[in-house]
């Protein structure tokens, strides 16, 4: 009996142990840049809805990852286009990288004195100017974007302490933008045809819900084209009326510096779907000319934490293209209605005293009272004003 037990143990071990010459490490591919999550929106007014992030940073300013990895993240997150908007006034890791590159730098250019002007946000530059190539991060990202089919937009962030932060998009040469004067810097970008966004308007807590005098002057001089109503984890609801009433283009962007997965990873206890901040651009095609034109025309919807912010007509058009109401039964004045959501966006609607949540790419059946064959629906996670949601008439014939 002991002999039989010994044989069984040896046989079991033979099943577990690898054969001679085989690797004893099992490798599993838990993820790669070939794994993409698609975010689906239907066409709006005969045009496509492109998912974009118009405010990101890399190691070329104060971000923690390379421009190429930033593009890979965007592709994996389901975006169609991304803007690389590294600071021109603030480059946090430049001095460390300068020391790392010392052996490759000509001797006459070595030394700490040549790694200069890395924080012009708070201190004025000296007469030597800014001695870096501000086009490198775009060129680096563009190469990876071409590989993955992601449009990369050239841009910069212009930042001066107490004056606010501004993104310039679709620039031509980032090396020709900086000036000692902040307004002149913005005008230099404008001279290249850049689209200027007022970033995170509540950034300075001392000026919460209030524009700085410098920022107000930029608006008055026609130097601002768009506004971030969403940035990172902040929703600037107070500025929606200012944005839409004055025909500025609403945007929502990550302003990401670290890994986007760190900022937007879903809590395992939270079953709701959330995406990274996005500016949805409604355009016929995903190329620079088309997206630039759409931004100029204000054809955007800002996405932030399952909320959509934009012009009322665009919000209504997106909702009606996404959500279908079909009567499947009647009982007196009440009707059984199947609501089908053909988009990746969850919606919360209110009709009468009922609040209904519609899952993305899902359907639900509810009772609705429809007078004269129609019902009024308020989309509560859409904002067309600081205190306003779009109201939509739904046909229930």
pLDDT at residue 162 in the model: 78
Mean pLDDT of 337-354: 95
Q: What percent of the chain has pLDDT over 70?
A: 80
Mean pLDDT of 59-76: 95
In this predicted model, which residue has the larger pLDDT, 293 or 125? 293
Using the predicted structure, report yes or no on whether residue 256 has a pLDDT greater than 60: yes
CB 58 within 8 Å of CB 254: no
Mean pLDDT of 51-60: 96
pLDDT at residue 6 in the model: 44
* Least confident range of 94-103, 137-146, 243-252, 293-302: 94-103
pLDDT at residue 187 in the model: 98
How far out from the chain centre does Cα 371 lie? 41
Q: What is the 3-state secondary structure (H, E, C) of the chain?
A: CHHHHHHHHHHHHHHHCCCCCCCCCCCCCCCCCCCCCCCCCCCECCEEEEEEECCECCCCCCCCCCHHHHHHHHHHCCCCEEEECCECCECCCHHHHHHHCHHHCCHHHCCHHHCCCCECCCCCCCCCCCCCCCCHHHHHHHHHHHHHCCEEEEEEEEEECCCEEEEEECCCCHHHCCCCCHHHHHHHHHHCCCEEEECCCCCCHHHCCCCCHHHHHHHHCCCCCEEEEEECCEECHHHHHHHHHCCCEEEEECCECCCHHHHHCCCCCCCCCCCCCEEEEEECCCCHHHHHHHHHHCCEEEEECCEEEECHHHHHHHHHHHEEEEEEEEECCEEEEEEEECCCCCEEEEECCEEEEECCCCEEEEEEECECCEEEEEECCEECECCECCEEEEECC
The string of pLDDT tens digits covering residues 160-201 is: 877 889 999 999 999 999 998 999 999 999 999 999 999 999
Using the predicted structure, report yes or no on whether residue 20 has a pLDDT greater than 50: no
Using the predicted structure, report yes or no on whether residue 13 has a pLDDT greater than 80: no
CB 148 within 8 Å of CB 78: no
pLDDT at residue 208 in the model: 56
Q: What confidence category does residue 109 fall into, taking pLDDT thresholds of 50, 70 and 90?
A: low
Mean pLDDT of 108-114: 60
The string of pLDDT tens digits covering residues 282-312 is: 999 999 999 999 999 999 999 999 999 999 9
Using the predicted structure, report yes or no on whether residue 205 has a pLDDT greater than 70: no
CB 170 within 8 Å of CB 195: yes
What is the rounded average pLDDT for all residues in the chain? 86
Mean pLDDT of 122-126: 62
Radius of gyration from C-alpha coordinates of the chain: 26
Mean pLDDT of 363-369: 91
User: Angle 174-176-180 (CA atoms, 0-180°, nearest 5)?
Assistant: 110
Q: The dihedral of CA 267, 49, 378, 363: what is its sign?
A: negative
Using the predicted structure, report yes or no on whether residue 127 has a pLDDT greater than 60: no
Most confident of 206-210, 351-355, 383-387: 383-387
Say how far apart CA 84 and CA 135 lie, in whole Å.
10
pLDDT at residue 344 in the model: 96
Smallest CA-to-CA distance from 85 within 221, 189, 215 is with: 189
pLDDT at residue 31 in the model: 52
Using the predicted structure, report yes or no on whether residue 7 has a pLDDT greater than 70: no
Structure tokens at 273: 């779907």
Say how far apart CA 130 and CA 117 lie, in whole Å.
6
* Least confident range of 42-56, 108-122, 340-354: 108-122
pLDDT at residue 114 in the model: 55
If 0-12 CB within 10 Å is exposed, 13-18 middle and 19+ buried, where does residue 120 land?
buried
Mean pLDDT of 135-149: 96
pLDDT at residue 21 in the model: 47
User: Angle 71-77-79 (CA atoms, 0-180°, nearest 5)?
Assistant: 70
Q: What confidence category does residue 266 fall into, taking pLDDT thresholds of 50, 70 and 90?
A: low
Mean pLDDT of 249-261: 96
């Amino acid at each position: 009996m002991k002999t039989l037990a010994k044989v069984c143990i040896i046989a079991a071990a033979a099943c577990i142990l690898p054969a001679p010459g085989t690797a004893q490490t099992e490798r599993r591919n838990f993820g790669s840049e070939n794994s993409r999550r698609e975010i689906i929106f239907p066409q709006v007014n005969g045009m496509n809805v492109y998912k974009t992030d118009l405010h990101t940073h890399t190691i070329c300013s104060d971000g923690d990852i390379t421009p190429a990895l930033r593009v890979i993240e965007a592709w994996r997150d389901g975006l169609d286009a991304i803007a690389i908007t590294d600071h021109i006034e603030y480059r946090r890791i430049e001095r460390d990288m300068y020391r790392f590159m010392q052996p490759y730098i000509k001797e006459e250019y070595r030394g700490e004195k040549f790694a200069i002007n890395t924080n012009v946000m708070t201190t004025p530059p000296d007469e030597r100017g800014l001695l870096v190539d501000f086009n490198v991060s775009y060129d680096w990202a563009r190469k990876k974007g071409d590989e993955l089919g992601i449009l990369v937009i050239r841009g910069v962030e212009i930042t001066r302490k107490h004056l606010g932060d501004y993104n310039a998009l679709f620039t031509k040469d980032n090396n020709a933008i900086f000036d000692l004067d902040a307004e002149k810097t913005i005008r230099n970008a404008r001279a290249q045809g850049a689209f200027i966004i007022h970033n995170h308007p509540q950034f300075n807590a001392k000026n919460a819900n209030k524009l700085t005098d410098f920022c107000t002057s930029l608006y008055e001089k026609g130097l601002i084209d768009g506004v971030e109503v969403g940035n990172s984890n902040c929703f600037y609801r107070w500025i929606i009326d200012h944005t839409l009433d004055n025909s500025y283009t609403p945007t929502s962007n990550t302003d990401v510096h670290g890994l986007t997965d760190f900022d937007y990873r879903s809590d395992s206890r939270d079953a709701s779907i959330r995406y990274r901040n996005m500016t949805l651009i409604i355009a016929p095609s995903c190329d620079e000319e088309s997206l630039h034109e759409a931004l100029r025309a204000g054809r955007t919807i800002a996405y932030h934490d399952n909320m959509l912010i934009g012009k009322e007509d665009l919000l209504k058009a997106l909702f009606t293209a996404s959500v279908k109401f079909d009567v499947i039964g009647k009982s007196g004045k009440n009707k059984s209605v199947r609501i089908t959501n053909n988009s990746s966006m969850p919606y919360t609607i209110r009709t009468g005293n009922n609040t209904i949540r519609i899952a993305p790419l899902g359907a639900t059946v509810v009772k609705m009272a429809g007078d004269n064959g129609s019902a009024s629906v308020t989309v509560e996670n859409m904002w067309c004003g600081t205190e306003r949601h779009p109201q939509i008439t739904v046909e229930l014939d």
